[in-house]
Amino acid sequence: MLELLAQLTVNGLVSGSLFALLGISFGVILGTTRTFHFAHGVVYTSAAFAAYAFREGLGLPLWLAALLGVGTAVLLGVGIEVVVYQPLRRLYASPLTVLIASLGVLIIVENMMAIFFSTDAKVMSGFPSHVIIAGGVAFTLLHLGTVVVSWVLFGALWLYLHGTKTGKAMRAVASRPEMADVVGIDTRRVFIQAFAIGSALVAPAAILFTLDKGATPDMGVTAVLMASIAVIVGGMGSLPGAALGGLIIGLARNWGVWVVPSEWQSAIAFGILVVVIVFRPTGLFGAKLVKAEV
C-alpha cells in the first residue's frame, strides 16, 4: 500500500515536473505579452517532430536532434509572434482577436503535421532505457532526466529574469507595459524575446515526452491545456506559481488513480481548475485579480 503511494508520488513528480515546465513556458509568454498563445501547443509539437525527423530520418545523434528541435520551436514561436500576432496588435486588436488567431494557427500547424507525419505515434530512440529501483519504487533514467531538466530550466529562467538586464526588462514589461514603454524599453523586442524563451523552454518538454511516449500531431493540444491550467492554478503572472501549479496537477492526476475511475482521469486537472477558480480566483501565488483582459 505504502509502496503504491510512493510509486504514484514518483510518477506524479515526473509528470508534474513536465507540466511545470509547460506551465512556465506558457506563463512567461502570457505574463510578458498578455497573449493567450494557444498555438504554443503546436510549437511544442513542432519541437517533437523536428527532433524525431532529425534523429530517425537523418540519423543525427540525439543531442544534436534535440538542439535542432529547440531551434525549430524558437523559429516557429517567434514566427507566429512576428507574422500573426504583431500585425494584429498594431491594429489595436483586442486580446480576444489575438486569441482567435492563435486557435487558427493551432489547427493549421497541427493538421499540416498530420499530413506530413500521419497520426500514429512516433517514438524516438537514443536515450538509455535504464530502470532504477530504489526502496520498492521503479523509474527510468528518462524519468530522472525529466525531473532534472525541468527544474534546472526553471532555475535558469529565474536567474535570467532576475539577474540579467534583458531579463529585468521583461519583468518590467510584464508588470507595467505602458510604463516600460515610457522608460525606453522596446516592448516589441521584449515580446519577441518572451516568445523565443517560452518556445525554447517548451521544446525540451516535448522532446522528453516523445522519448517516453512518442509524438502525435494532437499532443500539443493537451500540453497547452495543461500549461494554461497550471498558470491559472498557480496565479497568473507568477512563474513559481505556474511551476507549482504544474507539479500539483501531475501529483493529483497520479494520486487520483486511487479514487477516480479511469474514464474520468482527464477530468482531474479540470477539477482542480474549477476549485481554484471558485475558492481562490487569484491562484496560489497571484497577488491580485487583474481587470478582465478578454
Partner 1 sequence: MDYFIHIAIIITLYSILSTSYNLLIGYTGLFSIAHAAFYGIGAYTSALVALHFGASFPLALLAAVIVTALSGAAIGVPALRVRGDYLVVASFGFQMIVLGVMLNWLSLTRGEGGLTGIPRPELFGIKILTPAAYLPLAVATAALCFLVSWWVGRSPFGRVLKAIREDEVAAQSLGKDVVYFKIVVFALAGGLAAVAGSFYAHYVTFINPLSFTLEESIFIMAIVLVGGAGNLWGSLVGTVVLVVAPESLRFLKIPDTIAAPFRQILYGVLLVLFVRFRPQGLIGEHSSWHAAGDGPTGDGLARRDRAPAIAPSSEMRSGPAVRTSPAGAPLLTVHGIVKDFGGIRALDDLSLAFPEGRITGLIGPNGAGKTTAFNVITGFVEPDAGSVLYRGRELRGLKPSEIARLGIVRSFQDLRLFPRMTVLDNVRVALPGQRGERLLFTFLGALQSVRDDRRNLDRAYELLAFVGLVDRAREVAEDLSYAEQKLLALARLLATEADLLLLDEPASGLDPASIETLMALIRRLPEYGKTICVIEHNFDLIKELADPVVFLNQGRAIAAGTPDEIVTDSQLADLYFGV
Helical residues (DSSP H) of the chain, grouped into ranges: 2-33, 40-52, 62-80, 86-90, 95-117, 141-163, 165-175, 177-182, 187-213, 219-234, 239-259, 267-279
**How many residues of this chain bind partner 1 (CB under 8 A)?**
51
Which residue lies nearer to partner 1 by CB, 134 or 292? 292
**Cα 170 from Cα 161, distance rounded (Å):** 7
**Cα 72 from Cα 48, distance rounded (Å):** 9
Can you read off the three cell numbers belonging to residue 139? 523509474
Which member of 22, 28, 33, 36 binds partner 1 (CB under 8 A)? 36
Which residue lies nearer to partner 1 by CB, 25 or 185? 25
Can you read off the three cell numbers belonging to residue 19? 507540466
**Residue written as grid cell 529565474:** 158
Q: Which stretch binds partner 1 (CB under 8 A): 64-72, 143-151, 187-195, 259-267?
A: 259-267
Contact between 292 and partner 1 per CB under 8 A: yes
Give the number of other Cβ atoms within 10 Å of residue 94's Cβ. 12
Give the number of other Cβ atoms within 10 Å of residue 7's Cβ. 16
Least spacing, CB of residue 40 vs partner 1, in Å: 12
Chain centre to alpha carbon of residue 26: 5
Least spacing, CB of residue 142 vs partner 1, in Å: 25
Residues in 194-233 that interact with partner 1 by CB under 8 A: 221-222, 225, 228-229, 232
Residues in 67-126 that interact with partner 1 by CB under 8 A: 84, 87-88, 91, 93, 95-97, 99-101, 103-108, 110-112, 114-115, 118
Three-state DSSP state, 134: strand
Contact between 284 and partner 1 per CB under 8 A: no
Contact between 277 and partner 1 per CB under 8 A: yes
Binding-site ranges for partner 1 (CB under 8 A): 36, 38, 84, 87-88, 91, 93, 95-97, 99-101, 103-108, 110-112, 114-115, 118, 221-222, 225, 228-229, 232, 236, 262-267, 269-270, 273-274, 277-278, 281, 289-294
